[in-house]
Each structure stands twice: as structure tokens, then as C-alpha cells.
Amino acid sequence: MRKLLVIGIGAGDPDFITIQAVNALNEVDVFFIIDKGEEKDELVALRKELCRRYIEDQSFRIVEAPDPERDRKAEAYASAVENWYQKRAEIFEQMMLDELAEDGCGGFLVWGDPTLYDSTIRIIELIKARNRVAFTYKVIPGISAVQALVARHRLPINRIGEAIHITTGRKLAEGLPQGVHNAVIMLDSQNAFLTADPEAEIYWGAYLGTKSEILIAGKLRDVAPRIVEARAEARAAKGWIMDTYLLRFPRK
């Protein structure tokens, strides 16, 4: 039976990869990669570099497929994302049937950690539900952008006696639940931090762990303009940006 390994490869630095992930890389016959276009060639290149660096037997293959279009203007956000997942599931399913032997091991290299704001596990479950190809799969955790962010800023993720809330820019803009004192924000495409309490402290990082890494920290009211400018300049230069930030709100 085919086997799949969903391998967390860390948030950018090749040294972030774990020993468990290296062992998993060395089991894989075929790696499946979604090509998101020229703007994100750097991400594909890093995945290939990890394979070259850590796999002993270089006879593995890498199979790429173009990412299907996603409707980002749809009013029904959840259904638009689910439709996009279905399209990806169909692509990966066909790649498995065409490229992976019945006793082979396929690998998915996941940026950061596969369990935190990543779609790979959901897509694999969709493939499993379609029942066209039989397989088992295993998830190997990785160092997430959240961990990399607080390590780069030399912080514990929460203050004493306080919880941590992890959410998205979309949810931050809608308003955080009452009582949240420490919030990590991911997937913010609209500078949602501008809607937060200006007295909050922000610890922001982009392209964490890579040569392009940018870090900014301080009172939100003081550094928000710098972050907005840095995001705009980085996006213009690369065509894409991946950033994460921690907000710490004043104790009341």
C-alpha cells in the first residue's frame, strides 16, 4: 500500500528541520510540490535545497503541479476555500496515481508545521474520502513560524499566568475575544494590526529564518507605520510576503 509522509520542514532556516523530519525525508521516493508561480519560486527552491542537503540517496523524484485558481473575491469565504481544497485534492490524487508506485512512499514538504494554518492534512483527508487510491499517512511536526518569531525576538510566548491566543488577521479585524492579553496573528494580508489597541506591544517578523528576514518590535503606536512600509516594500520586491506577529496588550 502507498504511504504518505506530511513533513514539517520549519519556518525558513534549513537548520530548523528536526532529526525526525530528516529521517522521514530519507524514506520518500517521490515528493509532491504545488508550484505557486514565479513569485514563490524561492519557497520551492528551499524545499529542493533541503532534499539535496539531508537525503543520502539522491534517487528520489520531485513532481510539481500548478496551483489551482482560488476565488479570493467570493463573499462566502469558507465555501471558496473548501472548493479550492477540492481542486488541490484532485490534483494530488492524480499525481499519486500517476507517479507513486503501489508500495511507494510519497512526501509533502510543509512550510512550518503541518497542523498550524496549513491545508495539507485536510486535502489528504479529502483524497482518502474519495476512495480512488489506497494509502496510509503520517504527520511529522515542524518548527512553526510562531516558534521562530518568539525565538527571534527572544521572548516567552506568553506572560506569567496568561494564555496565548492564535488567530488570523481576518479575525483580529473582527475583534478579539474579551480577556485576550497575548495574541499571535498569522495570515494578515490587510495590516489588521492597525485596528488593535495602539498601546499594545507588537513583535513582528517576515520571511522568518531566511536571508530576507525582517524584524520590528515596539509600541504599536510607534512602529505601525514602519511595519506598513516594510510590508509594502517587501511585497513589491518579492511579489509575496509571509509574516507573523505577536501582540501584547496592556494589563488592566
In eight-state DSSP terms, residue 71 is -
Instruction: Tell me: pLDDT of 72 over 70.
Output: no
DSSP code for 153: T
| pLDDT score of 196 | 95
pLDDT digits (tens, 9 = 90+) for 119-136: 999 999 999 999 999 999
Q: In this structure, which amino acid lies at residue 245?
A: Y
Handedness of CA 199, 200, 203, 206 (dihedral sign): negative
Quote the CA–CA distance of 129 and 236 in Å, as a whole number: 40
pLDDT exceeds 80 at position 76: no
* CA–CA separation, 132 and 117 (whole Å): 27
Q: Provide φ and ψ at 185, rounded to 5°.
A: -115, 130
Show the domains of the chain with their CATH numbers: 2-143 (3.40.1010.10), 146-248 (3.30.950.10)
* pLDDT of res. 74: 58
Q: Which of 66-75, 210-219, 220-229 has the lowest mean pLDDT?
A: 66-75
Q: How far apart are CA 96 and CA 78, in angstroms?
A: 27
| Mean local confidence (pLDDT), 161-179 | 94
- Alpha-carbon span 243 to 206, nearest angstrom: 4
Report yes or no: 36 and 88 within 8 Å, Cβ to Cβ.
no
pLDDT tens track for 143-164 = 999 999 999 999 999 999 999 9
